[in-house]
A = this chain, B = another copy of it.
């Protein structure tokens, strides 16, 4: 990393503005902050001079002095065609409305998240919002003990002082199960992601528990990735089954898998005649003509606004732990909303 940035003509400071406006440096500061007394006309003059020179206060220096940087660390990962882009978009909007600036920490893979979390500490942000990877208790602790907030989206925060908002994945799985059960389906299949993935596993488990509670059997197929391609692969595996042994009810723990599965079955299996299919996420594509997938919408708006509430509360409490918190490890659930479309039978 060469830098060699010299203090060129670019380093204009409030001092230069003060000189040009023939006032003290303190006054130009007051002209910008609005704090402290200053004659309106002086203020106008200073603002004009500053504009001419093209100067505005150095936000870093200001943060230094005030001891507070209007920054929030956001940990994210690859924005594939994915639910994650929507999450980030909502989050960025909320942060913007807060008048805070998101400092992005981008992970290529989940195992980089811990390092990024550590790195974020140096920036003295107001707090951090995690949307990728797993959170270690000691990291959350390090951040919270600095008086910063810590919010996790769709993953456990693993700390009682933190805030975690997640879709009620287990419930979603159970809802999917009862829907398929009510249709009279009997041979159940779950297509899911890696065994250790948090949300998909909860969805799968919720589904399986509900199916088994009715005395029915259910199979799971795990996939390395949860992509369209993996969904297609599942379709191939499905088609390789003897016709009589094929499941007639499939729950995909995300929409990408479901869409790929549909594509792989296209022209060979009729949905929902031969089988019913339910996904999870409600991707934009799930509502498109060739798919019309029954799926669950995660209430992103609600989730983000809950984070906003938490952060506001945290700011009011000035970083102290919320005493009213019935510390369920900080985990809060939102109900996923079923979106009925054409991959399940209409008469529900």
- Of the stretches A39-47, A51-59, A173-181, A324-332, the one at the interface is A51-59
Q: CA separation between A79 and B56, bound complex, in Å?
A: 30
Interface residues of A in 48-78 (CB under 8 A from B): 54, 56-61, 63-64, 67-69, 71, 74, 76, 78
Question: Does A300 reach chain B (CB closer than 8 Å)?
Answer: no
- A308 contacts the other chain (CB 8 A): no
Given contacts A8-B147, A58-B124, contact A289 B266 (CB under 8 A): yes
Determine the distance from Cα of A263 to Cα of B89 in the docked complex, in whole angstroms: 26
Given A64-B64, A106-B102, A2-B228 contact (CB < 8 Å)? no
Q: Given known contacts A8-B318, A8-B319, A290-B263, is B78 in contact with A89 (CB within 8 Å)?
A: yes
| Contact residue among B5, B123, B315 (Cβ-Cβ distance under 8 Å from A319) | B5
Task: Report the interface size for chain A: residues with CB under 8 A from the other chain.
Answer: 76
Min Cβ gap A173→B in Å is: 25
| A145 in contact (CB, < 8 A) | yes
- Asked whether any CB of chain B lies closer than 8 Å to the CB of A80, the reply is yes
Q: Does A6 contact B (CB under 8 A)?
A: yes
Q: A59-B124, A93-B108, A103-B101 are in contact. Are A315 and B3 (CB under 8 A)?
A: yes
Could you say which residues of chain B place their CB within 8 Å of the CB of A145?
9-10, 54
- Measured in the bound complex, the distance between the Cα atoms of B59 and A121 in whole Å is 9
Which chain B positions have C-beta within 8 A of A99? 1
Contacts A92-B104, A124-B58, A147-B8; A289 near B318 (Cβ below 8 A): no
The residue on B at minimum CB distance from A12 is: B146
- Residues 1-19 of A at the B interface (beta carbon under 8 Å): 1-12
A283 close to chain B: CB less than 8 A? yes
Question: Nearest B residue to A79 by beta-carbon distance?
Answer: B89
Q: Which residues of B contact A290 (CB under 8 A)?
A: 263, 266, 289-291
B92 adjacent to A86 (CB under 8 Å): no
Cβ distance A28 to chain B, nearest Cβ, rounded Å:
14
Q: Is there contact, CB below 8 Å, between A79 and B85?
A: yes
Can you name the residue of chain B whose Cβ is closest to the Cβ of A61?
B64
Q: Say if the beta carbon of A285 comes within 8 Å of chain B.
A: yes
Q: Which of A7, A58, A79 has the most CB of B within 10 A?
A: A79
| Alpha-carbon distance A22/B69, docked complex (angstroms) | 30
Q: Which of B2, B95, B319 contacts A106 (CB 8 A)?
A: B95
Q: Can you list 6 contacts pairing A with B, beta carbon distance less than 8 Å?
A: A4-B316, A56-B122, A79-B86, A81-B284, A101-B104, A263-B289
Given A57-B122, A59-B124, list of 4 further CB < 8 A pairs?
Answer: A10-B146, A54-B145, A56-B118, A263-B289
